[in-house]
């Protein structure tokens, strides 16, 4: 578990990098599939060409959304307090 913003950002950047790599892999897989298979293709589980295309596009979109979410979480995203009350033991 990340204990500070720097560790959190490092972890988020690792996830973003993984998502970018996986997205590129599935994008290439989709492109190769489209180039090498006809629309009447079915696999042994009777998955159609269109279903396979939709599945791969869904994976690509999921990696895009995961990376975007992680990017939005980088750094401190909350509001910094403008005033902090005196918390010393002497304060009343």
Q: What is the pTM of this model?
A: 0.73
The pLDDT of residue 6 is 86
Whether residue 80 is contained in a domain is answered as no
The pLDDT of residue 41 is 83
The pLDDT of residue 43 is 82
State both tokens at 40: 């009447």
Whether residue 65 is contained in a domain is answered as yes
Could you list the residue range(s) of the whole structural domain that residue 27 is in? 5-73
The pLDDT of residue 75 is 86
Q: How confident is the model at residue 10 (pLDDT cuts 50, 70, 90)?
A: very high
The pLDDT of residue 55 is 96
Whether residue 39 is contained in a domain is answered as yes
Complete DSSP assignment for the chain = ---SHHHHHHHHHHHHHHHHHHHHHHHHHHHHHHHH--TT-B-TT--BHHHHHHHHHHHHHHHHHHHHHHHHHSS--SPPPS-----STT--
Whether residue 89 is contained in a domain is answered as no
Number of domains observed in the structure of the chain = 1
Whether residue 83 is contained in a domain is answered as no
Whether residue 81 is contained in a domain is answered as no
Average per-residue pLDDT for the chain: 86
């Amino acid at each position: 578990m990340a204990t500070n913003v720097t560790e959190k950002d490092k972890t988020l950047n690792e996830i973003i990098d993984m998502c970018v790599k996986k997205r590129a892999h599935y994008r290439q897989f989709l492109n190769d599939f489209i180039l090498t298979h006809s629309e009447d293709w079915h696999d042994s589980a009777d998955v159609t060409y269109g279903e396979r295309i939709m599945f791969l596009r869904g994976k690509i979109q999921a990696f895009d959304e995961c990376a975007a979410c992680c990017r939005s979480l980088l750094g401190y995203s909350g509001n910094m307090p403008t005033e902090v009350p005196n918390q010393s033991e002497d304060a009343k």
